[in-house]
Amino acid sequence: MAKLFAFAFALLFACGSVIGQEDTTLEPDTTLPPEAPTTVPPTTEAPTEPPATTTVPPEPETTTAPETTVTPEPETTTAAPVPDTTTAPAPVTTPAPEPNYNYNITENNVTCIMIEGAVTFLVNYTTVNNETKTATVVLPKHPKADSVITGTCNGTDGQEEIDVTWGSAGQSSSVKVEFGIKGDSWSVSSFVANLFMDPVTFANGTDAGKTLSLVVDYGFSPLSVPVNHSFNCHSSLSAVNITATTGDAPYTQRVSSKLEGIHIQAFNMVPYEPDFVSSVHCSADEISDVVPIAVGCALAALVVIVLIAYLVGRRRRSAAYQSV
C-alpha cells in the first residue's frame, strides 16, 4: 500500500514536472504578445501633434497687437502739424509794423500832417548831493504801447496840430507841434514839450517828480514851405532858443534839444497820399553841399599843379640833353 502511494506520488510529481515544463515553454510564447504592445506606445508622435496646435494660437495674438499700435501713429502725426502750421504764420504777420519815428494825422482819407525824425532833449539837473548831471529824454518810436497821437487837420484860424503823448497816467510826457498857413505857404508856429522828470531818468534829482515845460525854437530855415511840399533836413538841427519852466518858476539849469533826420509836412491836401511829396531842403543841407564841392575843386587844382610841374621838369631835362 505504501508502495502504491509512493508510485502515485512519483507519478503525480512527474506529471507536475511535465506540466511545469510545458508551462515554462509556453511563457516565452505569452511574453511575445506583451512585446507587441510595448512597441506600439513608442509611437509618441501622436502627443507631439497637440503641442504644435498649441503654438498656433499665440501667432494671431501677436499679429493683432502691431495692428493696434500702427493705428494711433498716423492720428498723432496728422494732428500735431496742423496747429503748428496755423500758429506759425500768425505771429509773423502781426509784428510787421516795426517802431519808427513816424507820426501822422489823417482825417477823411487825407494825411494832412506827417512828421519823421528823432527828437532829443538834454536836461541838466541838480542831485540831492548838489551834483550836476545830464538826463536824456527822447521822443519814443511809434507805435508804442503807452504812446498816443492826437491832432486835427481842420483847425480853426488856419491852424493844424499834432500831439504825441507817452508814459503812464499822471506821469506822462508830450510833444506838441502847431502849424500855420499864410497864402500858399505853411510854417511851424509852435513847438512845445512837457517832460515828466521821473526818478529813474532824473536819478536823485531835487526836481524829480515835477514836469518840465519847454518852448523850443529850432530856427527853421526856410521859415515857410509851399503847400503840398515838405520840409526835409538831413543835417542835425539844434535849438537856438529854449524857454524852460517847472510849474510857475523858471528852470535855471541848462536845457538843449536837437532834431535828427527831420522831415515834416503840414496842410497836405492830396487824398490817399500817406507819403511825403516833393520837399524843400533846409539851409543846413545846402551849406553841407558846399563843403564837398570846395574840397573837390581843391583836389582838382592840386592835380593840375602837379601835372604842370611834371611837364615843366620834363621839358627842362630834355633841353639839358640837347645842349650837351
CATH code for the domain of 139:
2.40.160.110
Cα–Cα distance for residue pair 240/216, rounded to 1 Å = 8
In single-letter form, the type of residue at position 37 comes to: P
Cα–Cα distance for residue pair 91/254, rounded to 1 Å = 45
Q: Does residue 142 sit within a domain?
A: yes
Tens of pLDDT, residues 194-207: 999 999 999 999 99
Q: Does residue 3 sit within a domain?
A: no
Cα–Cα distance for residue pair 115/263, rounded to 1 Å = 6
Q: Does residue 234 sit within a domain?
A: yes
Cα–Cα distance for residue pair 139/117, rounded to 1 Å = 9
Q: Does residue 30 sit within a domain?
A: no
Structure confidence at residue 130 (pLDDT):
94
Cα–Cα distance for residue pair 172/198, rounded to 1 Å = 9
Cα–Cα distance for residue pair 165/1, rounded to 1 Å = 164
Structure confidence at residue 123 (pLDDT):
97
Cα–Cα distance for residue pair 298/294, rounded to 1 Å = 6
- 164 within 8 A of 139, measured Cβ to Cβ: yes
3-state secondary structure of 288: helix
Q: Does residue 34 sit within a domain?
A: no
Residue 225, φ and ψ in degrees, nearest 5: -130, 140
Q: Does residue 96 sit within a domain?
A: no
Q: Does residue 229 sit within a domain?
A: yes
Cα–Cα distance for residue pair 252/269, rounded to 1 Å = 43
Cα–Cα distance for residue pair 219/202, rounded to 1 Å = 28
Structure confidence at residue 2 (pLDDT):
54
Name the nearest CA neighbour of 261 among 230, 290, 240, 215.
230
CB atoms within 10 A of CB 299: 10
Q: Is 267 left (phi over 0), alpha (psi -120 to 50) or beta?
A: left
Q: Does residue 46 sit within a domain?
A: no
Using the 8-state DSSP alphabet, how is residue 162 labeled? E
Low-confidence ranges of the chain (pLDDT < 50): 17-72, 74, 76-79
- 256 within 8 A of 217, measured Cβ to Cβ: no
Structure confidence at residue 205 (pLDDT):
95
Number of domains in the chain: 1
Q: Domain range spanning residue 217?
A: 102-289
